[in-house]
Amino acid sequence: MTIEYHIKGGDFSAAGSASSEVKKTLKQFNISPFLLRRVAIALYEAEMNVVAHACKGLMSVDIRPSCICVVVEDEGPGIEDIEKAMEEGFSTATDEVRQMGFGAGMGLPNIRKNSDGMKLTSTPGTGTRLEFTVNI
Protein backbone atom coordinates (compact mmCIF):
# COMPACT_ATOMS: atom_id res chain seq x y z
CA MET A 1 0.00 0.00 0.00
CA THR A 2 1.22 3.47 -0.89
CA ILE A 3 1.20 6.55 1.31
CA GLU A 4 2.02 9.98 -0.10
CA TYR A 5 3.46 13.06 1.54
CA HIS A 6 4.02 16.53 0.14
CA ILE A 7 7.29 18.25 0.93
CA LYS A 8 7.74 22.01 0.76
CA GLY A 9 11.12 23.28 -0.46
CA GLY A 10 12.90 25.74 1.79
CA ASP A 11 10.76 25.01 4.83
CA PHE A 12 13.51 23.89 7.17
CA SER A 13 11.34 24.29 10.25
CA ALA A 14 9.00 21.54 9.07
CA ALA A 15 11.76 19.36 7.64
CA GLY A 16 11.58 15.81 8.87
CA SER A 17 7.82 15.74 9.37
CA ALA A 18 7.09 13.54 6.34
CA SER A 19 9.73 10.96 7.25
CA SER A 20 8.56 11.08 10.85
CA GLU A 21 5.00 10.23 9.76
CA VAL A 22 6.20 7.28 7.66
CA LYS A 23 8.30 6.08 10.58
CA LYS A 24 5.24 6.12 12.85
CA THR A 25 3.36 3.94 10.37
CA LEU A 26 6.25 1.52 9.96
CA LYS A 27 6.43 0.95 13.70
CA GLN A 28 3.07 -0.79 13.45
CA PHE A 29 4.69 -3.55 11.42
CA ASN A 30 6.73 -6.42 12.70
CA ILE A 31 10.01 -5.22 11.20
CA SER A 32 13.28 -5.24 13.05
CA PRO A 33 14.38 -2.07 14.87
CA PHE A 34 17.58 -2.13 12.85
CA LEU A 35 15.64 -2.04 9.58
CA LEU A 36 13.34 0.66 10.89
CA ARG A 37 16.37 2.78 11.68
CA ARG A 38 17.77 2.34 8.16
CA VAL A 39 14.49 3.34 6.53
CA ALA A 40 14.06 6.29 8.88
CA ILE A 41 17.52 7.67 8.12
CA ALA A 42 17.19 7.21 4.35
CA LEU A 43 13.76 8.86 4.38
CA TYR A 44 15.00 11.80 6.39
CA GLU A 45 17.96 12.40 4.09
CA ALA A 46 15.71 12.20 1.03
CA GLU A 47 13.26 14.66 2.55
CA MET A 48 16.09 17.02 3.49
CA ASN A 49 17.36 17.02 -0.09
CA VAL A 50 14.00 18.30 -1.33
CA VAL A 51 13.80 20.91 1.42
CA ALA A 52 17.35 22.13 0.84
CA HIS A 53 17.45 22.15 -2.97
CA ALA A 54 13.99 21.98 -4.60
CA CYS A 55 10.77 24.04 -4.73
CA LYS A 56 8.45 21.21 -3.84
CA GLY A 57 8.34 17.46 -3.84
CA LEU A 58 6.23 14.36 -3.37
CA MET A 59 7.31 11.40 -1.31
CA SER A 60 5.48 8.13 -1.97
CA VAL A 61 6.17 5.21 0.28
CA ASP A 62 5.01 1.80 -0.86
CA ILE A 63 4.93 -0.74 1.95
CA ARG A 64 5.02 -4.32 0.65
CA PRO A 65 5.39 -7.61 2.51
CA SER A 66 8.93 -8.02 1.19
CA CYS A 67 10.22 -4.46 0.96
CA ILE A 68 9.65 -0.77 1.39
CA CYS A 69 9.92 1.22 -1.85
CA VAL A 70 10.29 4.96 -1.71
CA VAL A 71 10.01 7.38 -4.61
CA VAL A 72 10.78 11.05 -4.09
CA GLU A 73 10.11 13.34 -7.03
CA ASP A 74 10.79 17.03 -6.90
CA GLU A 75 10.47 20.13 -9.00
CA GLY A 76 13.70 22.07 -8.82
CA PRO A 77 17.09 22.71 -10.32
CA GLY A 78 17.88 19.02 -10.81
CA ILE A 79 21.37 17.53 -10.62
CA GLU A 80 23.98 18.31 -13.28
CA ASP A 81 26.43 15.53 -12.51
CA ILE A 82 24.84 12.58 -10.74
CA GLU A 83 28.10 10.69 -10.29
CA LYS A 84 29.66 13.68 -8.58
CA ALA A 85 26.55 14.17 -6.41
CA MET A 86 26.93 10.63 -5.09
CA GLU A 87 30.44 11.35 -3.80
CA GLU A 88 30.81 11.70 -0.06
CA GLY A 89 31.33 15.31 0.92
CA PHE A 90 30.20 16.80 -2.38
CA SER A 91 27.40 19.34 -2.05
CA THR A 92 26.00 22.27 -3.99
CA ALA A 93 24.18 23.60 -0.94
CA THR A 94 24.33 27.36 -0.48
CA ASP A 95 26.24 28.93 2.41
CA GLU A 96 22.89 29.77 3.98
CA VAL A 97 21.87 26.12 4.02
CA ARG A 98 25.26 25.07 5.34
CA GLN A 99 25.01 27.54 8.18
CA MET A 100 21.87 25.75 9.29
CA GLY A 101 23.91 22.61 9.67
CA PHE A 102 22.91 20.93 6.41
CA GLY A 103 24.71 20.40 3.12
CA ALA A 104 27.61 18.28 4.35
CA GLY A 105 27.41 16.20 1.19
CA MET A 106 26.48 13.04 3.07
CA GLY A 107 22.78 12.87 2.13
CA LEU A 108 22.91 10.71 -0.99
CA PRO A 109 25.77 8.47 0.23
CA ASN A 110 23.78 7.95 3.44
CA ILE A 111 20.71 6.90 1.48
CA ARG A 112 22.80 4.47 -0.52
CA LYS A 113 24.31 3.07 2.67
CA ASN A 114 20.94 2.58 4.32
CA SER A 115 19.07 1.07 1.36
CA ASP A 116 19.27 -2.10 -0.72
CA GLY A 117 18.99 -0.43 -4.11
CA MET A 118 18.90 3.16 -5.19
CA LYS A 119 18.22 4.91 -8.50
CA LEU A 120 18.74 8.59 -9.09
CA THR A 121 17.62 10.33 -12.30
CA SER A 122 17.43 14.01 -13.04
CA THR A 123 16.63 16.54 -15.73
CA PRO A 124 18.64 19.66 -14.96
CA GLY A 125 16.34 22.65 -14.68
CA THR A 126 13.23 20.50 -14.19
CA GLY A 127 13.68 18.18 -11.26
CA THR A 128 14.99 15.01 -9.70
CA ARG A 129 13.59 11.55 -9.12
CA LEU A 130 15.04 9.36 -6.41
CA GLU A 131 13.99 5.78 -5.93
CA PHE A 132 15.21 3.47 -3.21
CA THR A 133 14.25 0.14 -1.74
CA VAL A 134 14.85 -1.38 1.66
CA ASN A 135 14.29 -5.13 1.85
CA ILE A 136 12.46 -6.59 4.80
Partner 1 sequence: MKESSYAHSIQIDPDKCVGCSHCMRVCSTQAIRIADGYARIQSERCIDCGECFRVCPQRAIYARHDGLSSLPSGHCKIALVPSVFVGQFSTEYSATQVLNAVKQIGFDEVFEVEQAVDFMKEAYRSEAETNPLRPLISSYCPAIVRLIQVQYPSLTGQIMRLKAPHDIAALYLRKSKEAEGLDPQKLTIYYVTPCAAKIAAARAPVGETESPIDATVDMTVVYNRAAATLYGRKKKGLRKTCADMDPDSVNWSLSGTEKKYFPGRCLAIDGMDNVIEFLEKLESGHISDIDFLEMRACDQGCAGGVLCPGNRFLAVERLEHRQKRLQKLKEANRGKVKNPLMEYREILHTMSGVSPVYPRAGLLLDQDMEKALIKLQRIERMMTCFPGFDCGACGAPGCRNLAEDIVKNRASISHCVFVQRVMEKNSKLSPDQAFVIIEKIWGKGRLDKYMHKK
Binding site for partner 1 (CB under 8 A): 1, 3, 16, 19-20, 23, 25, 27-31, 33-34, 36-37, 40-41, 43-45, 63-65, 110, 136
**What are the two backbone dihedrals, phi and then psi, of residue 81, each rounded to the nearest 5 degrees?**
-125, 100
What 3-state DSSP class applies to 58?
A: strand
In angstroms, what is the minimal distance from the CB of 30 to partner 1? 5
By beta-carbon proximity to partner 1, the closer residue of 114 and 122 is: 114
Determine the angle formed by the axes of helices 33-53 and 17-26, rounding to 10 degrees. 160
In angstroms, what is the minimal distance from the CB of 44 to partner 1? 4
Q: Three-state secondary structure along 60-81? A: EEEECCCEEEEEEEEECCCCCC
By beta-carbon proximity to partner 1, the closer residue of 33 and 89 is: 33
In angstroms, what is the minimal distance from the CB of 5 to partner 1? 13
